[in-house]
Amino acid sequence: MARKPHLRSVAAASAASAVSPAPSAAFAAPGAAHASASPPAPTRTPCRALLGPRPLIDGEDGTNYDVILERISADVAPEDFVEEILVRNVVDLVWDSVRLRRLKSQRLHAAAHQGLERVLTPLLGWLSADKLSGKWASGDEEAISQVEALLGRAGLTIDDVMAQTLAARIDDVERIDRMVIIAEARRDAVLREIRARRLAFGQALSRAGEAIDAEFEDVAPGSA
């Protein structure tokens, strides 16, 4: 059967049950366009230890979190501790969305026996389908071979099994998707906050410069 290796991998998963973005100009530090003509600014030492440990759960690789933190920090280039806090919030929200997508996939794999039971019930009846799908999920080799033969004779594949799995766990999937949408909306809101802070700071500097220029202009020539 052409899909035999894939079917076995899903059965095993049921039994057992990171990015290179280009630097963003939107977060360039003020005056970055003239960096080549200016001496480099002193490097700030991030105070990341003050923001607490990484929000990891069992099974997650902290190295991946650190890579995301370093790359977002390099793109945004936080200029003060407030921006460091905002960057950490962005990273945590990105990590949340990555985690949720991963757990959604794992949820479907863990529930694959439910989809298999739905597929096999018209072929074997509910009781036999329930028993066979349970053995298949536990990794029983004989059950896996029997399932492959049954699906092959019926013209079905593992995609049909996973489609029925999605139907069985659609409420879980929808809830996870809503959580992803919320995390990404919060992430975008924090990014907008960083942009707004920098825009307000730039406008304040511009007004201060205009006020100074106006004071010099008000002084009459030769008044000294």
Task: Give the pLDDT confidence of 103-155 residue by residue, as tens digits.
Answer: 999 999 999 999 999 999 999 999 999 999 999 999 999 999 999 999 999 99
CA–CA separation, 84 and 94 (whole Å): 15
pTM: 0.72
Q: What is the pLDDT, as a whole number, of residue 102?
A: 96
Say which amino acid occupies 2.
A
Q: What is the pLDDT, as a whole number, of residue 193?
A: 93
How many whole angstroms from its chain centre is CA 195?
Answer: 21
For 182-198, the three-class secondary structure string (H helix, E strand, C coil) is HHHHHHHHHHHHHHHHH
The residue with tokens 């406008």 is: 203
Q: What is the pLDDT, as a whole number, of residue 78?
A: 92
Q: What is the mean pLDDT of each run of 10 residues along the chain (224 residues)?
A: 55 57 46 47 66 93 95 92 94 97 96 97 95 96 96 96 97 97 96 91 70 60 54
> Are the C-beta atoms of 124 and 171 separated by less than 8 Å?
no
CA–CA separation, 19 and 36 (whole Å): 28
Q: What is the pLDDT, as a whole number, of residue 206?
A: 73
End-to-end CA distance of the chain: 97
Q: What is the pLDDT, as a whole number, of residue 1?
A: 41
